[in-house]
């Protein structure tokens, strides 16, 4: 049957059969962020358009080509967020977090929207995990934030990822560098793409970020920003590198990294996967010491990064990494007759109140069809209820993996008896569960 209404180009559906992969990423990033002292923040899906023009930069591809802007009668212009930093910093300023203890550490999980050519690893609606560290100019903060990103990737088993590091300096040394770039590219002006011809006058550093193969070739011999760093910026970059070395985090200095957004200063970095082709950047970030003041807050240094969840999943899949096991049904009641069906409703509710995932027939299937359904949903146990079981007050609890059957009460002892069987089964089959119980027991001792 043809589908009349289809999802928009550049978006994707996450079905129940795939969502456990997302749960894996989300759990790891949350745990890692909180281990480093970050707390979650949640912001609106859309903001005033001017917020992104002011923060991201009016010469960037994001603002010039990719923003989804909307309006309604009587409203100002709004834009679906193309990235997470601008809205997060707006929220930090507006909610008075700059007046609280510094540094402020916040993380987010959110969807972003950019109108660009859809391809593997590059979608029009995509999802990011991001962290913002606000209120410190110390290079130790740069290295610590990079260490957090490194920790996330390590916990996901992504060991074929390289850290590329650069410094794009402060406004003073960057002004000298921009002039050097103009002088380098000016003789090649007619060879540049139309977009970069405009960038040459307004923001020549954007030329280094152009996706045109011809412009990338021209940029190979362009001046290097590291040769133009002032003494203070050079010392800052040196300390970042030193701290990374102390932590045992390997890096490659890559002077071509400028990042695609205008608010960056000094440290910029990317983690690049070797497993997912041309869209291999799974994390990018850096310092943005002037952004908060630009947005109306008091001058406050800050830095952050964002990871694309879709790309993390692609990288994990390409390496065959394990995801958190999909949650399945703990117990399914299979019933014969109306009385048994009613009893299954009662018993299921008792077990659900104890925290177990329990199902029973909602369709009116025959016995064999109910057993097939229990098997398809991955039920760990099945209890078959009929008139004889109701009369005796006992039934058979069947382990669907081993086939072993055990008598179980249908009365007050049901929850206690099921818990004993479930606990023993999990200790035998689930290593993570067994390790957790053993560690907890050791702690209690």
Mean pLDDT of 159-164: 93
pLDDT of residue 445: 47
- The residue whose two tokens read 């050097």 is 180
Half-sphere exposure of 380 (CA within 13 A, CB side): 19
d(CA 373, CA 355) in angstroms, rounded, equals 22
Q: How high is the mean pLDDT of the chain?
A: 89
> Dihedral of CA 139/141/144/145: which sign?
negative
d(CA 151, CA 28) in angstroms, rounded, equals 10
| pTM of the model as a whole | 0.87
In a 3-state reduction of DSSP, which class is residue 402?
A: coil
Contact 21, 311 (CB under 8 A): no
Mean pLDDT of 125-151: 97
| Termini Cα distance of the chain | 62
d(CA 85, CA 289) in angstroms, rounded, equals 13
Class in CATH terms, 19-170+230-319 = alpha beta
Closest among 85, 68, 62, 84 to 294, alpha carbons compared: 85
| Boundaries of every domain in the chain | 19-170+230-319, 331-432
Specify the higher pLDDT residue, 428 or 111: 111
Half-sphere exposure of 218 (CA within 13 A, CB side): 24
Contact 237, 266 (CB under 8 A): yes
pLDDT of residue 70: 83
Measured CA distances, 226 to 223, 233, 261, 266, 336 (Å): 9, 9, 19, 10, 77
In CATH, the number for domain 331-432 is 3.40.50.800
Contacts of 160 (CB under 8 A, 6+ apart): 273, 274, 275, 319
What ranges in 156-193 are assigned the alpha helix state H?
A: 171-185
User: What tokens were used for 223?
Assistant: 């001046």
Query: What are the φ/ψ torsions at residue 384 (nearest 5 degrees)?
Result: -95, 125
What is the separation of C-alpha 419 from the centre of its chain, rounded to a whole number of angstroms?
35
**Angle 337-341-344 from CA coordinates, rounded to 5°:** 140
394-399 β-sheet, strand order: 358-360, 331-335, 381-385, 394-399, 405-409
Contact 329, 51 (CB under 8 A): no
Specify the higher pLDDT residue, 278 or 193: 193
* Residue 74 pLDDT class (50, 70, 90 cuts): low
Instruction: Determine what percent of the chain is predicted with pLDDT higher than 90.
Output: 64
d(CA 242, CA 309) in angstroms, rounded, equals 30
d(CA 136, CA 133) in angstroms, rounded, equals 8
Q: In degrees to the nearest 10, what's the CA dihedral of 76, 77, 83, 84?
A: 10
Mean pLDDT of 146-173: 94
Pairing of strands 394-399, 381-385: antiparallel
What ranges in 266-329 are assigned the alpha helix state H?
A: 291-294, 309-319
Contact 336, 180 (CB under 8 A): no
User: What tokens were used for 158?
Assistant: 């992504």
Instruction: Determine what percent of the chain is predicted with pLDDT higher than 70.
Output: 93
Contact 237, 167 (CB under 8 A): yes
pLDDT digits (tens, 9 = 90+) for 348-398: 999 999 999 999 999 999 999 999 999 999 999 999 999 999 999 999 999
Peptide bond into 103 cis (omega under 30): yes
Measured CA distances, 320 to 77, 156, 158, 313, 316 (Å): 44, 11, 10, 10, 6
Q: Is the pLDDT of residue 61 over 70?
A: no
pLDDT digits (tens, 9 = 90+) for 198-209: 788 877 887 887
User: Per residue in 13-29, is it b (16+ CB within 10 Å) or e — as a string?
Assistant: eeeeeeeebbebbbebb
């Amino acid at each position: 049957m043809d589908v009349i209404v289809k999802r928009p180009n550049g978006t994707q559906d996450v079905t129940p059969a795939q969502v456990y992969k997302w749960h894996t990423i989300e759990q790891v990033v949350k745990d890692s962020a909180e281990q480093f002292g970050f707390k979650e923040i949640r912001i609106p899906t859309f903001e005033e358009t001017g917020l992104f023009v002011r923060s991201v930069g009016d010469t960037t591809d994001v603002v010039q080509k990719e923003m989804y802007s909307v309006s309604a009668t009587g409203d100002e212009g709004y834009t679906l967020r193309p990235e997470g930093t601008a809205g997060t910093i707006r929220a930090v300023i507006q909610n008075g977090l700059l007046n609280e203890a510094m540094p402020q550490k916040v993380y987010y999980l959110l969807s972003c929207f950019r109108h660009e050519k859809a391809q593997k690893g590059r979608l029009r609606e995509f999802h990011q995990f991001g962290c913002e560290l606000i209120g410190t100019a110390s290079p130790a903060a740069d290295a610590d934030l990079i260490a957090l990103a490194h920790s996330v990737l390590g916990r996901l088993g992504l060991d074929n990822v390289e850290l590329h590091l650069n410094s794009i300096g402060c406004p003073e040394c960057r002004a000298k560098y921009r002039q050097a770039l103009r002088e380098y590219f000016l003789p090649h002006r007619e060879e540049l793409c139309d977009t970069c011809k405009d960038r040459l006058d307004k923001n020549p550093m954007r030329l280094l970020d152009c996706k045109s193969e011809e412009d990338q070739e021209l940029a190979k011999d362009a001046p290097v920003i590291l040769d133009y760093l002032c003494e203070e910026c050079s010392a800052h970059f040196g300390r970042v590198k030193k701290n990374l070395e102390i932590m045992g985090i390997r890096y490659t200095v890559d002077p071509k990294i400028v990042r695609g957004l205008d608010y960056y200063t000094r440290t910029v970095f990317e983690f690049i996967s070797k497993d997912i082709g041309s869209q291999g950047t799974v994390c990018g970030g850096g310092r943005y010491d002037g952004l908060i003041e630009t947005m109306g807050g008091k001058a406050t240094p800050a830095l952050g990064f964002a990871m694309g969840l879709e790309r993390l999943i692609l990288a994990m899949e390409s390496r065959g990494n394990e995801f958190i096991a999909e949650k399945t049904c703990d117990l399914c009641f299979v019933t014969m007759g109306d009385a048994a069906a009613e009893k299954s409703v009662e018993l299921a509710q008792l077990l659900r109140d104890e925290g177990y995932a329990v199902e029973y027939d909602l369709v009116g299937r025959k016995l064999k069809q109910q057993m097939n359904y229990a098997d398809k949903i991955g039920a760990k146990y099945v209890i078959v209820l009929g008139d004889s079981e109701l009369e005796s007050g006992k039934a058979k609890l069947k382990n669907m993996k081993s086939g072993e059957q055990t008598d179980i009460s249908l009365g007050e002892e049901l929850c206690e008896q099921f818990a004993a069987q479930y606990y023993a089964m999990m200790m035998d089959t689930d290593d993570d569960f067994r390790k957790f119980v053993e560690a907890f027991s050791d702690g209690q001792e």
